[in-house]
């Protein structure tokens, strides 16, 4: 199949990025639409990416002392009302169960939009003495938020995520935890997803409902928009006081704990797609790619070719490489295009002449560069190439990130910046009215407050600036 025929399968990435995204997630078999509006079915290829994300993150959580647990999907409605800011923030998104077993329930139940309330209730039982904290829990689960506008992975009514929840004896320990986990997310995003991110504190308008402070991780997408890729919340004593999470301290007095929560979701798969994808489809970083190397037999019907391809694949798998052989009866050209669209980092072509010469042809997905590799040392060659591909994807993303951050002194400059597909740094006085006015005039929101940066005046009102804020249009 010719290249131009292949590209017609998906929309042009530069001309219609939203359509390109939808085409890619459907035609590569990542997801399908669920029967309930706003839901998605994560297909095996998409779920395999999530499993690799889980594996990498779970190891990092356990290395920092967190243990996995599971908490109920159904939460008494009364729990949601105990923390006023929390219930106000989530009320529009909450799905409520009023009938169970054919009978009206005495108290409505909420399908969890997040688990601070139910975990707070349990922590109030488990935290008794100064010897008990810190409590360090993580949950891999699904949550439901009744979204009006949905798009696969980016915003759906039900999605998968992890949510960490911790309780500490002091404010200092809780803040240290909040920042530590933000750092874990940043390291994971860069070293596993090959996505460099901006991190920092959210404004009061953008913080999590019920938090004292929220710290976010923002990723730049291909079109210059921002995707909130993760958050870490310092909850102070807000939920401790709402759910009576107290412990008896050494001085004989009862004290409220300080709590945190932090999470990332299947939205990260959307980040991968939009950060690395190109005109041919997905480009997946090797660390999280379901298939790191696809073996394509050339002239597969000729004696010994298919057997040699399977043998090569087995050797790669034995070396710890996620490899598969495409033994289908489709043409080699069709297979090349199919696996390129699916974003497999490395293609290995093996035909009769290659076998005779003791070599194979390797084609990188990121650069389309072709090389030859000796079959007797191919596993080592593939491992080295995968590491190069991972590093190159991060380098390319960093280059884009650095080139597309500009500064603005006026709202007009800010507007021109985001319309040009950039993130924009600008001074802000700290006033909610100015933040709202900027959003209204530019459709850009405050993503994070930049640390250790200064501006003289607010981009909106001209008064003295308190912060430099990173503004962008966002998903």
pLDDT digits (tens, 9 = 90+) for 79-113: 988 887 887 878 888 999 999 999 999 999 999 99
Provide the residue ranges of all domains of the chain, joining segments of one domain with +: 33-276, 293-400, 405-472
- Measure the CA–CA gap between 240 and 117, rounded to whole angstroms: 10
Low-confidence ranges of the chain (pLDDT < 50): 1-7
Asked if 130 contacts 60 with a C-beta cutoff of 8 angstroms, the reply is no
What is the predicted pLDDT for the residue at 65?
A: 98
pLDDT digits (tens, 9 = 90+) for 436-449: 999 999 999 999 99
d(CA 167, CA 133): 6
Taking domain 33-276, whether its CATH number is 3.30.930.10 is answered by yes
Q: What is the pLDDT of residue 1?
A: 37
pLDDT at 473: 98
Separation of alpha carbons 264 and 57, rounded Å = 10
Distance CA 261, CA 213 (A): 11
* pLDDT score, position 191: 98
Res 9: pLDDT? 82
- CB-side neighbour CA atoms (13 Å) of 118: 18
CATH architecture type of domain 293-400: 3-Layer(aba) Sandwich (3.40)
Reported as type and span, the H/E element at residue 233 is strand 226-236
Confirm whether pTM is higher than 0.85: yes
Pairing mode, strands 467-472 and 423-428: antiparallel
Burial of 406 (0-12, 13-18, 19+ CB in 10 A): middle
Radius of gyration for the alpha carbons in the chain, expressed in angstroms and rounded: 25
The pLDDT of residue 8 is 57
d(CA 25, CA 7): 15
For 405-472, CATH number out of 3.40.50.1460, 3.40.140.10, 3.40.640.10, 3.30.110.30 equals 3.30.110.30
Kindly give, in sequence order, each residue whose CB lies less than 8 Å from that of residue 29, ignoring residues fewer than 6 positions away. Answer: 43, 44, 45, 46, 342
Q: What is the DSSP letter of 92?
A: G
SS3 331: coil
Cβ neighbours for 138, distance < 8 A, ≥ 6 positions apart: 58, 61, 66, 67, 68, 69, 162, 163, 164, 165
Calpha distance 226→243 (Å, rounded) = 35
Domains 33-276 and 293-400 share a fold: no
């Amino acid at each position: 199949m010719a290249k131009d025929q292949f590209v017609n399968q998906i929309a042009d990435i530069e001309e219609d990025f939203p359509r390109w995204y939808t085409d890619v997630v459907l035609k590569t078999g990542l997801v399908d639409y669920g029967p309930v509006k706003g839901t998605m079915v994560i297909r095996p290829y998409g779920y395999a990416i999530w499993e690799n994300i889980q594996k990498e993150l779970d190891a990092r959580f356990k290395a920092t002392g967190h243990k996995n647990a599971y908490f109920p999907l159904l939460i008494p409605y009364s729990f949601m009302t105990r923390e006023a800011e929390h219930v106000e923030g989530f009320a529009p998104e909450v799905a409520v169960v009023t009938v169970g077993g054919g009978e009206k329930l005495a108290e409505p139940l909420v399908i969890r939009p997040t688990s601070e309330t139910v975990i707070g209730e349990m922590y109030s039982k488990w935290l008794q003495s100064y010897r008990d904290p810190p409590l360090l829990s993580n949950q891999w689960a699904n949550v439901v938020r009744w979204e009006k506008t949905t798009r696969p992975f980016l915003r759906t009514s039900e999605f998968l995520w992890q949510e960490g929840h911790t309780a500490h004896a002091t404010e200092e320990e809780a803040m240290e935890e909040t920042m530590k986990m933000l750092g874990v997310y940043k390291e994971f995003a860069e070293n596993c997803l090959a996505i460099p991110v901006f991190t920092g504190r959210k404004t009061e308008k953008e913080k999590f409902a019920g938090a004292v402070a929220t710290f976010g991780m923002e990723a730049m997408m291909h079109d210059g928009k921002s995707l909130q890729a993760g958050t870490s919340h310092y909850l102070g004593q807000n939920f401790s006081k709402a759910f009576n999470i107290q412990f008896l301290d050494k001085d004989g007095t009862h004290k409220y704990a300080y709590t945190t929560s932090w999470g990332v979701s299947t939205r990260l798969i959307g980040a991968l797609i939009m950060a690395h994808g190109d005109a041919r489809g997905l480009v997946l970083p090797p660390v999280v790619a379901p298939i790191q190397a696809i073996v394509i037999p050339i002239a597969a019907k000729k004696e010994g070719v298919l057997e040699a391809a399977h043998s090569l694949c087995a050797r790669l798998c034995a070396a710890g490489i996620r490899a598969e052989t495409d033994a289908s009866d489709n043409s080699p050209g069709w297979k090349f295009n199919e696996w390129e669209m699916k974003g497999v980092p490395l293609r290995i072509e093996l035909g009769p002449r290659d076998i005779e010469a003791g070599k194979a042809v390797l084609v990188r997905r990121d650069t389309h560069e072709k090389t030859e590799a000796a079959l007797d040392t191919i596993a080592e060659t593939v491992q080295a190439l995968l590491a190069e591909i991972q590093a190159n994807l991060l380098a390319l993303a960093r280059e884009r990130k650095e080139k597309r951050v500009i500064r603005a002194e006026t709202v007009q400059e800010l507007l021109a910046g985001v319309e040009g597909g950039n993130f924009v740094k600008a001074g802000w006085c700290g006033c909610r009215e100015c933040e709202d006015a900027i959003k209204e005039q530019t459709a850009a929101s405050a993503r994070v407050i930049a640390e250790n940066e200064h501006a003289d005046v607010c981009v909106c009102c001209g008064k003295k600036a308190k912060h430099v804020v990173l503004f962008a249009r966002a998903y």
